[in-house]
């Protein structure tokens, strides 16, 4: 049992770290593992917002102008949530199933390129946007709806270069027989003026569906979880000059399936592992040239654990490994076909700590370099935490 002095010392250390950058630190510490439930999933499984009623949350970013914050409140049958400045509000389902946590999006400061299909984006600063969630109990199942609206405009005085982006994202979800289901529709319009006579206009549209089955809370049995996701994005870009107009057609589809064991004996103690297969196909047509790219991940592995060391202290760790094979082909009538193939094994580990004091929680994603080299206290310039999230339940 740690002494009162040690507890206060640890708390002060965490409070000092609040100046470090952070986004959804717990989920990132777990490597984005989808078999361990987390409040961060309300953005791609909005029906889960009913599980986090009466909560206020702040994710601290690289400065006092980056990060996110929001509140969830309501009654027994209806829950309302309002958040601002998250980084993953377009294509949130593909982001969750393909990435390994919100830390992959921290540099975007709220920007999102709609999986690479928005031709224009804000030149300076993030989208100005607002995110609302609704959750309600319908029969024996929870239901949820998320609506995000974003806009960015950059029109410098005396400069012919400017950009304008408007985007809308809708996610709808429910849980039936312990299976979480969600569907997402995203669309945007953008225009980028590159000179007095030249501009690019694009209007991508995306659709995604997902399903997830994980361990029942506080079950002593080892259970089998599974997940699946399908996503399709299409959009065209018009490249306009003083004398010509060229059309670029883009499309892409992807799906993910995964299965593995998960174990959740208590609310704050979980172990989960799953292997997954990922497939992505993208197509780009410019004039007479068609470029297609195909990527496979065989296998992808995600192993994560959260251990409750004490009632107020949790340790988290994760390993993410993927073997990816990518093929690209460019075809132009009358010319030889260009083809290329690459194969790469990627590996990353993640870790973090959680501190719980009554209704207040602090979660920190530890900068990987700190684990082996130390912090400022040990002569290193690295920040102790790469991300910090603070949550209060009321």
For the ranges 90-99, 162-171, 275-284, the maximum mean pLDDT occurs at 275-284
pLDDT in tens, 166-199: 888 899 999 998 899 999 998 888 777 777 777 7
Exposure of 42 by Cβ count < 10 A (0-12 exposed, 13-18 middle, 19+ buried)? buried
Which residue from 290, 227, 229, 226 is spatially nearest to 254, judged by alpha carbons?
A: 229
pLDDT at 271 over 90: yes
The pTM of this model reads 0.83
pLDDT of residue 45: 95
Task: Tell me, rounded to whole angstroms, the distance of Cα 178 from its chain centroid.
Answer: 23
Largest pairwise CA distance in the chain: 78
Answer yes or no: are the C-beta atoms of 253 and 283 closer than 8 Å. no
pLDDT of residue 165: 78
pLDDT of residue 18: 31
pLDDT at 4 over 50: no
pLDDT in tens, 135-147: 999 888 999 999 9
Answer yes or no: are the C-beta atoms of 199 and 191 closer than 8 Å. yes
Confidence of residue 233 (pLDDT cuts 50, 70, 90): confident
Number of DSSP helices (H) and strands (E) in the chain, helices first:
4, 17
Which residue from 129, 131, 133 is spatially nearest to 111, judged by alpha carbons?
A: 129
Token pair, residue 177, equals: 């027989």
Mean residue pLDDT across the chain: 79
Q: Whole-angstrom Cα distance, residue 273 to residue 29?
A: 15
Helix (H, G, I), strand (E, B) or coil at 349: strand
pLDDT of residue 11: 34
For residue 299, cis peptide bond before it (omega within 30 degrees of 0) = yes
Answer yes or no: are the C-beta atoms of 383 and 364 closer than 8 Å. no
Token pair, residue 69, equals: 């914050």
Q: CB-based contacts of 27: which residues, under 8 Å, 6+ apart?
A: 38, 40, 41, 101, 102
Confidence of residue 252 (pLDDT cuts 50, 70, 90): confident
pLDDT of residue 160: 66
Confidence of residue 313 (pLDDT cuts 50, 70, 90): very high
pLDDT in tens, 334-391: 788 788 888 999 888 989 999 999 899 999 888 776 666 665 555 555 556 667 889 9
Q: Whole-angstrom Cα distance, residue 132 to residue 57?
A: 14
Residue environment code for 228-251, b if the CB has 16+ CB neighbours within 10 A, otherwise e: bbbbbbbbbbebbeeeeeeebebb
Which residue from 94, 126, 114 is spatially nearest to 190, judged by alpha carbons?
A: 114
Which residue from 147, 146, 113, 145 is spatially nearest to 127, judged by alpha carbons?
A: 113
Report which of residues 98 and 359 the model is more confident about.
359
pLDDT of residue 159: 66
| Percent of the chain scoring above 70 in pLDDT | 77
Which residue from 140, 31, 149 is spatially nearest to 89, judged by alpha carbons?
A: 149
């Amino acid at each position: 049992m740690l002494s009162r002095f040690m507890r206060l010392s640890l708390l002060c250390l965490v409070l000092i770290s609040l100046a470090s950058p952070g986004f959804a630190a717990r989920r990132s510490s777990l490597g984005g593992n989808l078999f361990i439930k987390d409040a961060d999933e309300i953005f791609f499984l909005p029906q889960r917002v009913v599980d986090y009623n009466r909560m206020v949350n702040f994710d601290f970013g690289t400065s006092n102008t980056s990060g996110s914050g929001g509140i969830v409140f309501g009654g027994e049958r209806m829950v309302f949530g309002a958040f601002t400045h998250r980084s993953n509000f377009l294509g949130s389902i593909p982001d969750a199933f393909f990435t390994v946590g919100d830390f992959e999006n921290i540099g975007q400061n709220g920007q999102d390129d709609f999986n690479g299909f928005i031709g224009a984006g804000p030149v300076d600063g993030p989208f100005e946007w607002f995110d609302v969630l609704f959750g309600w109990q319908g029969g024996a199942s929870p239901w949820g709806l998320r609506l995000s609206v974003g806009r960015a405009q950059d029109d410098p005085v005396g400069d012919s270069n400017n950009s304008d982006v408007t985007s809308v994202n809708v996610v709808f979800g429910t849980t039936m027989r312990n299976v979480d289901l969600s569907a997402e529709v995203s669309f945007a319009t953008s225009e980028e003026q590159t000179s007095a006579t030249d501009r690019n206009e694009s209007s991508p549209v995306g659709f995604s569906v997902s399903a997830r089955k994980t361990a029942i809370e506080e079950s002593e049995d080892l259970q089998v979880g599974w997940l699946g996701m399908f996503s399709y994005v299409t959009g065209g870009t018009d490249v306009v000059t003083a004398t010509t107009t060229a059309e670029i057609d883009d499309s892409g589809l992807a799906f993910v399936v995964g299965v593995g064991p998960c174990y959740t004996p208590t609310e704050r103690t979980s172990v989960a592992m799953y292997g997954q297969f990922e497939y992505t196909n993208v197509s780009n047509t410019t004039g007479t040239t068609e470029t297609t790219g195909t990527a496979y991940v065989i296998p992808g592995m995600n192993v994560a654990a959260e251990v409750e060391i004490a009632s107020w202290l949790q340790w988290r760790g994760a390993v993410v490994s993927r073997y990816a094979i990518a093929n690209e082909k460019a075809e132009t009538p009358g010319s030889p076909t260009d083809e290329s193939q690459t194969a790469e094994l990627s590996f990353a580990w993640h870790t973090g700590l959680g501190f719980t004091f009554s209704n207040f929680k602090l979660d920190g994603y530890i900068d990987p370099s700190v684990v082996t080299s130390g912090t400022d206290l040990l002569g290193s310039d690295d920040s102790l935490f790469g991300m910090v999230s603070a949550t209060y339940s009321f």
